[in-house]
A = this chain, B = another copy of it.
Amino acid sequence: MIIDKGLSPDFINDYLKVCGKYITFAKFGWGTSAVQSRELVKEKIENYKKYGIKTYPGGTLFEVCFSKNLFEEYLKECKDLGFECVEISDGSMELKPEDKDYAIKQAKKAGFIVLSEVGKKSIVLDSELEIHERIELVKKDLESGADFVIIEGRESGKSIGLFDEKGNVKKEELEILAENVDMDKIILEAPQKNQQVEFILRFGNDVNLGNISFEEVISLETLRRGLRGDTFGKI
């Protein structure tokens, strides 16, 4: 899963010739799709679709709309624009468990692939989330019907989720997570190379990774195949 935070339409066409086949999801990060023209968003979604890449707006946009009682309109607009997925998150707002459950179910009912997210955007609030709580939240979202659950890593990959303030993976927490959930259902946000390397070495080269910068897709693919020094001879 890559983040598109404002890529240009012709550039996308050119770019996907190089790495389209390595991408499953393209996220229009947080609220970025709302500040690009509707025509442009539609065109970009079509460009991705030619390569079988499924698109969705960042969870923050869902949160903005849900908090303004515009959830129904939000789903309709996502459909109209051509998005095939939606992300249901509560990174920037309080969302009651029953509301998250409801939102996931409604989005499924409307025909979307649903990616939910677990974690907070705020370093302070996120650090209060103990790993067993995180796991409970993951399980709940899967029970609600989410197709995948994303573990928050933000664009920075520091002091958030499974990462310490330097961006290193908290291995103990990772192991507890791995023991308790089906990793095929998890997308680990891993914007930094060292994080990608650790997850690949731990879970194998088909681990689901997210928040990949568009510039790093080819590089990540070489890591998955042992074609870069960091994973050479280890795959």
Contact = CB atoms under 8 A, between A and B. Distances in A.
A61 to B, nearest CB: 7
Give the bracket for the number of chain A residues in contact with chain B.
Answer: 35 or more
B64 A227 contact: yes
Interface string A4-23: 01111111001101110010
Given A92-B229, A93-B233, A227-B31, A217 B6 contact: yes
Interface in A93-108: 93
Contacts of A226: 64
B225 A31 contact: yes
A6 B19 contact: yes
A76 B232 CA distance: 22
A42 interface: no
A93 B32 CA distance: 40
A226 B30 CA distance: 10
B122 A229 contact: yes
A180 interface: no
Contact of A225 (B17, B35, B122): B35
A91 interface: yes
A140 interface: no
A179 interface: no
A92 B232 contact: yes
A222 interface: yes
